Amino acid sequence: MSKTAVATKHFTNRDVSEVLDQMADMLQIAGANRFRFIAFQNAAEAIRTHSRDVNDVAADGGLQEIPGIGKGIAQDIHDLLESGTFEGLEALRKEVPAGVLEMLQIPDVGPKTVRRMWQELDILDIASLKAAAEAEQIRVLKGFGTKSEEKILKGIELLAKRADGRTPIGKARPLAEEIKAALIAALPSGTIERIEIAGSLRRWRETIGDLDFLVISEDPAAVMDAFRTLPLVVDVIGSGETKTSILLGGGLQADLRVVAKKHWGAALQYFTGSQGHNIAVREIAQKQGWSLNEYCLTATGSGKAAEGEERFFEEEAALYAFLNLAWVPPEMRENRGEVKAASSDTLPSLVQLTDIRGELHGHSTYSDGAASVAEMAAAAQARGYSYWAICDHSVGLGVTDGVDAEQLAKQAEEIVALNQKYEADGVEFRLLRGIEVEVLADGTLGLPDEVLAELDVVVGSIHSGQRQAREVITERCLKVVRNPHVDILGHPTGRIIGKRAPSDLDVEQVLQTCLETGTVVEINAHPSRLDLNDVYARRAIELGCKLAISSDAHSTDGMEMMQYGIATAQRAWVQPADVINTLPMKEMLAALK
């Protein structure tokens, strides 16, 4: 690698983490020491979930201050940012063919298998692997057989059906709830004693790899049979006495395990993850003389208990307590310091759905909503809210007819009349006048300041020009934040999960400016957005910014999306005091500009 080379692209945190992940994969295939590839895996996750731009951190000389980044990997990241590559990466790319690396995409095919296919059978890509399996050439290898070939072919078939390796949570969660309900309904009452959604979905990650279900039942065979024959099943990948894997439409895999009641606590903890969190918990157990797996704790003989002694837990909390840890909410289990906090009893009290007193971003038929102001207000009251802000789109948004000053005045008359009725009826609920004002290409707003000044709540949002250059869209956003009438920055990065990447926004600079100007930052709860994401939301509260969580409802049932926003906030360690719409209305309004 030339020391004078210059990077040909701007590397984002995600770009850097993907390169580090690739490095870890190649190290595994090449047979490197496990501690070396684990170091790159940890570094990848650390960069992926770090709230600051990695370029800024590197420029400040702070890479080694990030947990999981050592001196050597810090230098690799510096080289990557400066020249687009680094020495170790180039060496491995020459050693490990690209097609061999791609074989890791096949479900249930790991680095050891890929390494043997490459070195013992000279298989260099997925197509060659498929041909070898079909020609029965793999079964000749020691440790392999007909079932191994069938598994590989099934994995290749599954990979071909998957358009994307991750499913947005907005699709995955309703589907998981549907499967859970269908399974319970398909069996006699009492067959399933307990059932939980596990995996990344229980942690409310924004995208999901597979669906995981955990069940307690005294009749595992009946549960397996019912799961295999659900109407949603496209194919059965594999089925045994206590585990079944099925394929759903769209290529999504779902796994179900039946465990004994005494194993429930350890199993739920294990199958919830994340991997990093579980490793950290296992290390705590080892220091106390225990080995932790998905069934129980087993004494290693290095502690007070006799070697081989087992401890079982019917609840997760009991397992954590036995290890002198506070129970960690699933949303926090991403190895971002939660285990250390649990060991010192300093976990935050996370914001809950019941803390929300009202919403500050929703729509009606005045713009592109499906329900009237009165209907949306009734839905908000039914949810127990004490206030709700009508923030219809302003003029300037090309995809829909936005409201202008004249329509806002007409809407105001309706709001006043409804509020007067609520007061006369003794209803403790008020509608607030608001707008989701469109940000034009040059950063000016769709309505003049004198109109915005009359409103209770102004949400400023960018819907167009999302692919503007980093400097341009950042300055455009900063202009909005600095406007004295814009109270809330709506869905800041403009992403649509699985469809549109976030804009190339300097989020750190935007958040710093929000803090300086007193602009509230929105977590948009709609599952297609979840914007701010959990990483940036945590950075916002670290800086001292205030957040608003709103469902951006365009219909009465749209308010049900609030739980997605709450989960995102919980993943960001957000507490009720960080969120302005946990406040009573007068206090909330006082917190706005």
Q: Supply angle C-alpha 308, 309, 313, rounded to 5.
A: 125
Question: What per-residue confidence (pLDDT) applies to 79?
Answer: 94
Strand 207-208 and strand 310-311: the pairing is: unpaired
Q: Which amino acid is at 374?
A: A
pLDDT, position 397: 73
Chain segment 476-488, per-residue pLDDT in tens? 999 999 999 999 9
- Pick from 378, 377, 376, 368: nearest CA to 398: 368
Tens digit of pLDDT for each residue in 223-254?
A: 999 999 999 998 898 999 999 999 887 778 99
Q: Are 230 and 239 in contact (CB under 8 A)?
A: no
Cis peptide before 230 (omega within 30 of 0): no
Residue 493 is given by DSSP the state T
In angstroms, the Cα distances linking 292 to 35, 94, 140, 286 are: 20, 39, 36, 8
The whole-angstrom distance between residue 250's C-alpha and the CA centroid of its chain comes to 20
- Give the pLDDT confidence score for residue 517 in this predicted structure: 98
SS3 342: helix
Amino acid at residue number 22 = Q
Residue 209, phi then psi, degrees to nearest 5 = -80, -60
**pTM for the structure as a whole:** 0.82
Number of other CB atoms surrounding residue 304 within 10 Å:
8
Burial class (CB in 10 A: 0-12, 13-18, 19+), 146: exposed
- pLDDT score recorded for residue 151: 86
CA–CA separation, 544 and 4 (whole Å) = 40
CB neighbour list of residue 233: distance below 8 Å, 6 or more residues apart: 227, 246, 247, 248
Q: How far apart are CA 70 and CA 64, in angstroms?
A: 6
pLDDT score at 425: 97
Token pair 């940036």 is found at 536
The CA distance from 279 to 373, in Å, is 51
d(Cα 125, Cα 115) in Å, to the nearest integer? 12
The domains located in the chain, with CATH, are 13-96 (1.10.150.110), 99-161 (1.10.150.20), 167-259 (3.30.460.10), 270-343 (3.30.210.10), 353-591 (3.20.20.140)
Give the full edge-to-edge strand order of the sheet including 387-390. 358-362, 387-390, 430-438, 457-461, 488-489, 520-524, 547-550
Residue 449, number of CB atoms within 10 A of its CB: 12
Q: Which amino acid is at 61?
A: G
Q: Which residues of the chain have pLDDT under 70?
A: 1-9, 161-165, 398-400
Partners of 430 in the β-ladder: 387
Contact present, 527 and 552 (Cβ < 8 Å) = no
pLDDT for 50 equals 80
Residue with tokens 């507490």: 575
Q: Give the sign of the dihedral formed by CA 32, CA 36, CA 42, CA 48.
A: negative
Other CB atoms within 10 A of residue 168 CB = 18
